[in-house]
Structure formats: C-alpha cells, structure tokens
Amino acid sequence: MIRAPRSLQSPRVVNIDDLRRRARRRLPRVVFDYVDGGADDEITLRENCRVFQDVTFRPRQAVAIPSYDLRTRVLGSEISFPAVLAPIGYLRLIHPGGEIDAARAAGAAGTMFVQSTISGHPLEHTRAASAGPVGYQLYLVGGRAASEAAIERARQAGFSALFVTVDTPVAGLRERDFRGGMRELLSGGLAAKLRFLPQFVTRPRWVAGFLRDGGIPKLANVVRPGEGPMTLVDVVGALARSAITWEDFRWIRQAWTGPLVAKGVLTGDDARRAIDAGATAVAVSNHGGRQLDGSAAALRALPEVVAAVNGQADVLVDGGIRRGSDIVKAICLGARAVLVGRAYAYGLAAAGQAGVARALEILRADVERTLRLLGCPSIAALDASYVEAPAAWHRASGAP
C-alpha cells in the first residue's frame, strides 16, 4: 500500500473530515463547492451521512479471534476490503492527476476504482495505472455510437465491470454550482473567469497545477464520430438528451458481456427491473444527494433492495460513507461492498495520489478496528445480527 506523507498522517489527519478541511483550504471555492455540494436544499446530501446514526451495533464481547479477514469478492474480483472508489466527474479539475492518481492509489490498496464518463484522462491510461480491477461508468452523452465506442475501448483496455447510471434524465439543481459560477469556470472566456481571481490568488498551488495541465480538459472518452472528444461544457445539455431506459440496458448488455451494474436504484421494483434487463449487480444510490433532493438516504433504501434482489445479484450502496463503521453497517444490512466518493475526492484535492491513499488507509483501519470491537472475524461473517436498525426499514423491505 502507498504510504501517505507525514503531513497526512495522524495526528494531523485522523479521519475523512480532516481531509475535507484540507481540500477546502486547497481548492478555489467554486471547485470545492462542486465536490462538496448537493441538489436544492441538500436535504438528501445531509441525510445520507446522518442516517448511519440510526443503526447501532450489537457486539460480541470476550471473544478471542487470532486474525481478521477484510477481503470480499464483488463484481467478479476479490478486493482487500469492501470499499470501491466511486465514479466522480471532473476529477482532473480537482487535481491534475485525477483518475490516474485515484486508480493508482486504489490498485495499491487492493481495491477497485470506477472511472466516470465525465473524465479527462483516457481509459487506457487509467487502466495502465492500476494494479487492481477498474470499472467504467457510462452515461449516454455523445449518443449511442460514442457510447458503444467507449464500451469497446473499456473492454479492450481490460476494464472488468461496467456501471450504468440510471438516475440522470436531467442534471439536478446544484445551487452551489449555479451561485458559484461552475459553468462560467468551465465554459467562459478570460473575461468570465475574472470573477474567480480573488479565489485563485489565495489558491496558488491549485492554479499552478491547473495551468500546467492545460486548463479545462476535454472528455477524452466521449468521442463523437467526426467531431472528436466532447468538451466539458456540453455535458449538462447532453445529459438531458441521453436519459437511460431499461430498453437501453438490453443493447448495453449485448455490447458488454462482463459484470453490469445499474447505479442509482432506490426501490425494490427498480432493482428487479434492472436484473430483468440484464444487470448482474445494482448500486443503491441517490447520486450522493446531487439529483433528486428529498429522495431516500441510500442506507435507508438498502434493506428493501436487498430483499427484492434475493441473492440474484450483488448489491452495492453509495452515499454518506465517511467512516469504516459506516462500511460495516452497510455490509451487515446486506451490501456486498460500498462505493466511496467524496471521502476519496477530499483526499485527491488535498494531496493527489497520496491523499487518496490516506483516505483508503483511514477507512481500512476503521473497518478492521470495528470488526475487532464487534468480535467478528471477517467481512464474510457479518450479518444483520450485529446491528439494530429501525423496524420500519424491514417492514418496507417485506422482511419479517
């Protein structure tokens, strides 16, 4: 595993919130708000984190366990502990290393990185950077031909799983981005960017990296026939023209024969539809609270989806993971693994690859400590008997 530099070690950086504070100090406010913010009043964003407080542990005491096994198998790959780095758009704007740094840190930690369609580094470079499994997350921006070409590139490069995001028929109203001027940062000329000068002056390291990297990158993996790579400014409109349907899953299933994940499922009905359409896994997710504000917290929706899937597919959960104990609670409620997003994005913003490595180091140590305190020998041995969850969650899932 990559060791983070001394500046990121304890006692300076003890938890993910410490990395968040460092990210806030390093990024211009407009970029930090993109990473940190959610849709509308950010109710779902906050609830994703808060809801873990509703689940309490039931530990086994006075248990002698000589060793602990954090490994699990998900989407056809064994990973060192049950946390996968979620797809995040614009990573190269957060740090020039972007997907490359995140993939390299994930591989060194023995886990999977998932690259977003909205990414600045080519798929082939990301795959080459990681010693572990790598997934690709698909939006249909650029049209079907561009999407089919990206799927084929991912297959040839050696990506092991395809994540299809189903919850973006239109981009959510992320008010911090609108007020902060994210669109102007991405699309405006020099005059439009003058408004950011006070932020840039106080963030010289980010500005230096941004300029050395050539400014706003194009979408290296969305190549429209006859047009070349799509620019970042086209994304919002393109999302509105490229909503995914279950019928799309059928041709995607033909184009991709490996593990196929429907990401953005919040109900048992949609989980069953996803499996019927060819998905081999579902990711319970509300897009990190960035789409429909007021939708259920991901952990709250997990038991219903697990019951509906009934062992027919892997279930992952995405949203609000900030501690290893959060990961353990999700596994106890039926998830095979979790997706972590902001937790590693804060690390990337703070220190590139080393920051991502430190985020993973924190989460892994938390998971092992939680297992020890629970008196549980392995991830595989975790089940619902180790937690107490609100009875209403089980009633909604149809479980006894």
Q: Is 205 exposed, middle or buried (0-12, 13-18, 19+ CB in 10 A)?
A: exposed
Residues 99, 354 contacting (CB under 8 angstroms) = no
User: What letter does residue 316 receive in the DSSP assignment?
Assistant: E
pLDDT at 193: 78
d(CA 94, CA 120): 11
Query: SS3 of 216, please?
Result: coil
| pLDDT, greater one: 399 or 54 | 54
Highest mean pLDDT among 130-139, 170-179, 195-204, 234-243: 130-139
Left (φ > 0), alpha (ψ -120 to 50) or beta: where does 121 sit?
Answer: beta
CB neighbour list of residue 58: distance below 8 Å, 6 or more residues apart: 385, 386, 387, 388
Query: SS3 of 315, please?
Result: strand
| pLDDT, greater one: 249 or 229 | 249
The CATH number of the structural domain formed by 6-397 is 3.20.20.70
| Positions marked catalytic | 287
pLDDT at 235: 63
pLDDT at 352 over 70: yes
How many of the other CB atoms lie within 10 Å of CB of 284? 34
d(CA 335, CA 328): 9
d(CA 288, CA 96): 23
Instruction: Look up residue 230 and give its two tokens.
Output: 């799509």
How many of the other CB atoms lie within 10 Å of CB of 213? 16
Mean pLDDT of 337-345: 98
Closest CA to 111 of 313, 349, 379: 379
Confidence of residue 148 (pLDDT cuts 50, 70, 90): very high
Instruction: Look up residue 259 and give its two tokens.
Output: 């593990």
> What does residue 92 show for φ and ψ, rounded to 5 degrees?
-70, -20
Domain regions of the chain by residue span: 6-397
Residue 11 preceded by cis peptide, ω within 30 = yes
pLDDT at 164: 97
pLDDT, tens digit, for every residue of 52-62?
A: 999 999 999 99
Q: Minimum mean pLDDT among 124-128, 246-250, 353-357: which range?
A: 246-250
> What does residue 165 show for φ and ψ, rounded to 5 degrees?
-80, 125
Mean pLDDT of 306-322: 97
pLDDT at 26 over 90: yes
CB neighbour list of residue 280: distance below 8 Å, 6 or more residues apart: 75, 259, 260, 261, 313, 314
Residues 335, 301 contacting (CB under 8 angstroms) = no
Query: SS3 of 77, please?
Result: strand
Range 222-229 contact pairs with CB under 8 angstroms and sequence separation of 24 or more: 222/117, 222/141, 222/142, 222/146, 222/150, 223/142, 223/146, 223/149, 223/150, 224/142, 224/143, 224/145, 224/146, 225/145, 225/146
pLDDT at 268: 96
Instruction: Look up residue 25 and give its two tokens.
Output: 């100090």
Query: SS3 of 140, please?
Result: coil
